[in-house]
Amino acid sequence: MERNDRRTRWFHAAVYLTVLVLLATGWWLIAGNEGTPSPLATLFGTPDTTLHRGVGWVLAVLILIGVVLGRKGVRTFVAESLRWRPGDARWLARWPRAVFTGRFAHHDGHFDPGQRLLNVLMVVGLAVLVGTGLGLVLLHGGPVFAVLDRVHRWATYVVTPLIAGHVLVASGVLPGYRGVWRSMHLGGRLDPEVARRLWPAWAERENRDRSPG
């Protein structure tokens, strides 16, 4: 079963890599190691501050390209992420146990309720990081710079565990999420059993659409 198209996977991978580089260099700088090159800075032969700013610009451009060229996909993503369904609270209540048992409550969305919540928090967090980051690059000191720097740091504290949780789930190492790695990173092919376990209504619609007659 096809879960994501090729362009979406490439865009997701590009954003993934830039965000991971930004987190790595950002935390290196937050830890007070500005005078000592990180392994990434050594690899690229540039200071961490320069690498962090450069990759930040890359992420901003990627987001702009994604919004402009993928307007339809963005609308779908936003609509699906913000849609609340009556059974979502029940799904979320069962989620901690289902992570290990694989017995998730039924949902009828393209994203499960946990994904929708993560989508909203991640988009808001990344928007704050990119916006404050651009402000820090364009400004050179002053009270506004100090406020932006503080907000940028706190947004980093919030976004980091969200990214870590996303990576953990997407890796497929948790029993309930075994098989999702292939759908996200290995060609987008998804085992029907995994689809029925994680996205039951979507899997049913796919099967109906593929059925002859």
Convert the pLDDT of each residue in 166-195 to its tens digit: 999 988 899 999 888 766 654 556 677 887
| CATH, residue 165 | 1.20.950.20
- Report residue 134 as tokens: 């651009």
φ/ψ bin of 212: left (φ > 0), alpha (ψ from -120 to 50), beta (otherwise): beta
- State the DSSP string of 130-168: HHHHHHHHH--SSHHHHHHHHHHHHHHHHHHHHHHHHHH
Query: Considering the entire predicted model, what is its pTM?
Result: 0.86
**Radius of gyration in angstroms for the set of CA atoms belonging to the chain, rounded to a whole number:** 19
Convert the pLDDT of each residue in 118-174 to its tens digit: 999 999 999 999 999 999 999 988 999 999 999 999 999 999 999 999 999 988 899
Whether residue 143 lies inside any domain: the answer is yes
Separation between Cα atoms, residue 132 and residue 146, nearest integer Å: 11
Whether residue 1 lies inside any domain: the answer is no
Whether residue 118 lies inside any domain: the answer is yes
Whether residue 130 lies inside any domain: the answer is yes
- Report residue 172 as tokens: 């497929």
Neighbours of 189 (CB within 10 A): 11
Convert the pLDDT of each residue in 20-79 to its tens digit: 999 999 999 999 998 899 999 999 999 999 999 999 999 999 999 988 888 888 898 899
Residue numbers of the domain that contains 41:
6-210
* Count of structural domains, the chain: 1
Q: DSSP state, 2?
A: B
**Is 159 within 8 Å of 151 (Cβ atoms)?**
no
**Is 198 within 8 Å of 180 (Cβ atoms)?**
yes
